[in-house]
Amino acid sequence: MDSPFGLLAELTYRCPLGCAYCSNPLNMADYSDELTTGEWRRVLGEAAELGILQCHLSGGEPLLRRDLVEIVADAHDLGLYTNLVTSALGLSRPRAEQLRTAGLDHVQISIQAGDPVASDRIAGTPSFHRKIEAMGLVKELGWPLTVNVVLHRYNIDRVADVLALAEEAGADRVELASTQYYGWAWRNRDALLPSRAQLEAAEAVVRAARERLRDRTEVIYVIPDYYSRFPKPCMGGWASRQLTVTPNGDVLPCPAAQSLPLPRASVREDSLERIWAEAPVMTAFRGTDWMPEPCRSCARRELDFGGCRCQAFQLTGDAARTDPVCQYSPDHDLVDRAVEAANAASRPAGPPLIPRPHRVRR
């Protein structure tokens, strides 16, 4: 077992946006007792001792934490590479300058679409122009900039606009990440899943952009799991490279694992090192010994590790099943039916979305 190299520090699930594709938990009230500054300082110290090199500060919206500058400074002093994953709402010039002084290394800004009307509609609040201003501020202050867009049925047709926006902003990296169907996104899956024709058109746009921008901007494009023959190696394998600490201190192998019926592990009750090595939530699906057939005898078992445990549980009710995305899964028909519905000629033009509730105060 190797030590993890990445920590996703979910500082809060509070967020000023109401994105219907949000994968954060539905039961946000369970995470309102957020770790204090001192508790995060201890977690970061234990992470550095464990061998972690990267610290991704996320949420919700991490800028809603008043102690964010202190947390960044602590991480920097420990030698961790810090990345702020943000909607950029709240990234004022004074706050940005404080974060720069504290040692923040990288900024990743999410945007919902490439034009203001669609972006604000998907976000549930006017935010597009503030995001563009924040991108300019990030580049002005000398940070590397990643622009992140979650793709789905309502914005994938305009992916060229997103790429043009990122190019104009001088982004060093663009992540075109298809919706992962957990949390609010699961409740909206039937409305959000794009069609095959949409995906094919988007891929052509992305290929051309990669060629045009190859010397300036890295373009990452991740297609929806549902359209793949084989599942992705989720997080590089269960509890093998990264871990997540939620706002209330729960420790997980990935951001969606809180949905699984596994014993809870918390930094308020144990050390990060012991949780990583011994907690059932970490050891349950580590390696390949847990695998059922067809994964157990599959030549791909150490390539995709049976796929996503959270997706298997979401679709089948059993986290130990082969990810139904896999074409060899006995449950693959569950994915086939969802894809068939997404491509049906009778599919409604615009089914209503259930927005994530706005929550900015404790």
Least confident segment among 21-30, 115-124, 157-166, 190-199: 21-30
pLDDT, position 360: 63
Q: Is the pLDDT of residue 95 over 60?
A: yes
Gap between the Cα atoms of 57 and 246, Å rounded: 11
Gap between the Cα atoms of 81 and 104, Å rounded: 8
Percent of the chain with pLDDT over 70: 98
Q: Is the pLDDT of residue 250 over 80?
A: yes
Token reading at 273: 């090192």
Find out whether 295 is annotated in a ligand binding site.
Answer: no
Q: Is the pLDDT of residue 359 over 90?
A: no
335: phi then psi, degrees, rounded to nearest 5: -75, -40
Which residue would you say has higher pLDDT here, 234 or 351? 234
Detail the DSSP E strand segments found in 19-113: 54-58, 81-86, 106-110
Tell me the pLDDT band of 351, cut-offs 50, 70 and 90.
Answer: low
- Classify strands 81-86 and 251-252 as parallel, antiparallel or unpaired: unpaired
Residues 132-187 have pLDDT tens digits of: 999 999 999 999 999 999 999 999 999 999 999 999 999 999 999 999 999 889 99
Tokens 């959000």 belong to which residue?
Answer: 192
The reported pTM is 0.94
Beta carbons of 226 and 338 less than 8 angstroms apart: yes
Of 72, 109, 68, the closest CA to residue 88 belongs to 109
Gap between the Cα atoms of 193 and 51, Å rounded: 38
**Residue type at position 83:** N
Residues 312-339 have pLDDT tens digits of: 999 999 999 999 999 999 999 999 999 9
Of 331, 251, 216, the closest CA to residue 47 belongs to 251
Which residue would you say has higher pLDDT here, 348 or 116? 116
Q: Is the pLDDT of residue 361 over 70?
A: no
Tell me the pLDDT band of 2, cut-offs 50, 70 and 90.
Answer: confident
Gap between the Cα atoms of 79 and 90, Å rounded: 26
Gap between the Cα atoms of 135 and 170, Å rounded: 8
Gap between the Cα atoms of 88 and 241, Å rounded: 28
Residues 11-20 have pLDDT tens digits of: 999 999 999 9
Find out whether 55 is annotated in a ligand binding site.
Answer: no
pLDDT, position 358: 65
Average pLDDT, the chain: 94
Coil, strand or helix at 250: strand
pLDDT, position 145: 98
Gap between the Cα atoms of 193 and 148, Å rounded: 18
Rg (CA), the chain: 20
103 half-sphere exposure, CB direction, 13 A CA radius: 14
CB atoms within 10 A of CB 78: 16
Find out whether 15 is annotated in a ligand binding site.
Answer: yes
Tokens 């139904």 belong to which residue?
Answer: 324
pLDDT, position 362: 64
